[in-house]
């Protein structure tokens, strides 16, 4: 069986760059684009309507987030088609710092490629909080794309 590469995606340009990197550098691997809905810290795929629904308690947040996740995963499929590749996609709801390493462990992933949002300022980490935690908790090697 071939290698499996997990690429966490959040809708940011860096996560799209990480997917492109994985498609280029792992031409024979199965690629999984994985989106984690982080309800505690809305990310790049979240709009003002979503935040209003979530904070307003309308109960529609799950429908809105499911639509956003479907959109992100469709974008990932489009990127893969640019490389004449097919990928698997998956999503979950929870804490990305926990779910990404858990997904890798539970799905026999061989490598993780992820974009980071860290800042190169003196008082800030070079990698983001999520990426740093994933690196330390991951059961496999992690490539960080900046």
The pLDDT assigned to 64 comes to 77
pLDDT band at residue 2 under the 50/70/90 scheme: confident
Q: Is-contact 23 80, C-beta < 8 A?
A: yes
Residue 57 pLDDT: 54
* Residue 68 confidence (pLDDT): 85
How many domains does the structure of the chain reveal? 1
Neighbours of 36 (CB within 10 A): 23
Which tokens is 8 given? Answer: 């966490």
Res. 103: pLDDT tops 60? yes
Please determine, for residue 124, whether its predicted confidence score (pLDDT) is greater than 70.
no
Confidence of residue 8 (pLDDT cuts 50, 70, 90): very high
CATH, residue 113: 3.40.50.620
Residue 118: pLDDT over 70:
no
What SS3 class is residue 63? Answer: helix
Mean pLDDT along residues 51-72? 70
Domain that holds residue 48: 4-145
Using a cut of 0.85, tell me whether the model's pTM lies above it. Answer: no
């Amino acid at each position: 069986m071939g290698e499996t590469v997990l690429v966490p995606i959040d809708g940011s340009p860096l996560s799209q760059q990480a997917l492109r990197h994985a498609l280029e550098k792992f031409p024979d691997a199965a690629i999984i684009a994985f989106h984690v809905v982080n309800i505690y810290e809305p990310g790049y795929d979240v709009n003002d309507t979503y935040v209003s629904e979530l904070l307003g308690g309308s109960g529609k947040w799950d429908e809105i987030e499911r639509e956003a996740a479907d959109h992100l995963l469709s974008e990932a499929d489009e990127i893969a088609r640019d490389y004449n590749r097919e990928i698997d996609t998956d999503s979950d709801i929870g804490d990305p710092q926990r779910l990404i390493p858990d997904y890798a462990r539970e799905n026999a992933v061989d490598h993780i490629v992820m974009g980071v949002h860290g800042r190169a300022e003196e008082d800030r980490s070079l990698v983001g909080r999520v990426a740093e935690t994933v690196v330390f908790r991951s059961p496999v090697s992690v490539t960080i794309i900046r």
